[in-house]
Structure 1
Amino acid sequence: MDKNRSYALIAFAALSQPIRLDVFRLLIRAGHDGMAAGEIGTALDVRQNTLSSNLSILLNAGLVRNERQGRSIRYFADMDGLRRLLGFLLRDCCGGREDLCKPLIDEIACAC
């Protein structure tokens, strides 16, 4: 199986669960500041043990990264992982016709 296809399948499987999708979207909104696990749990009203296992799945899927800061761990959306997933989806976009793909790519890139 193609390596990029395998990555996409793992990423989609990770995002197919509602809590994980909510966590990923929350971390995208948090941007470069990221969030501590406790902050994520509070924001989404998710118990710590449930959140921990879901964060682990997102980490293994390459969609989230973490960084130890003192006694806590901060989580961030892994933008390289997101870029890889979007690249896989858009690789053959519109048969290579830039005029058809550009509006979609502009919307994804938040070019309003």
Structure 2
Amino acid sequence: MNSDSALSALAALAHPTRLNAFRLLVQHEPDGLSTGQLVNASGLSQSTFSTHLAVLAKAGLVTSEKRGRQINQRAEIDTLKGLMLFLAKDCCQGRPELCEPLLAELACC
């Protein structure tokens, strides 16, 4: 992941509605959720939520796939991994022991 991609992903996640939707999709991997389920969970109108979904998709955080008559949304886990690695590599400054507490906390979940 490069700086532009990281900035795009971080900007997309910097809104409560989009962050909540993305977290919900991550929790429902690998199946994802229908757009209707996401709209219901957000409490927003379909058109307002669609705008937020488009921002996530443009940042490469969410993909859509048609399943019958519904459109299913899925989190792009590879983009999430790339963002996390991009941030962790810089924060550790070549010293893995700085990131060990973070990795240990992730392993426990």
TM-score by length of structure 1 reads: 0.88
SS in 2 for 1:33: coil
SS in 2 for 1:31: coil
- Cα pair distance change 1:41/1:88, threshold 3 Å: same
Displacement, 1:12? 1.1
Displacement, 1:50? 0.9
Percent identical: 45
Unmatched 5+ stretches in structure 2: none
Displacement, 1:38? 0.4
1:27 aligns with: 25
Deviations 1:15-58 (CA, angstroms, capped at 9, x unpaired):
11111111111111112120001001112212111111111110
- Aligned-residue RMSD, C-alpha: 1.4
SS in 1 for 2:53: helix
Unmatched 5+ stretches in structure 1: none
2:53 aligns with: 55
1:14 aligns with: 12
**Which of residues 74, 97, 105 is equivalent to 1:76?**
74
- In the alignment, the residues of structure 1 paired with residue 14 and residue 93 of structure 2 have an alpha-carbon distance, to the nearest angstrom, of 27
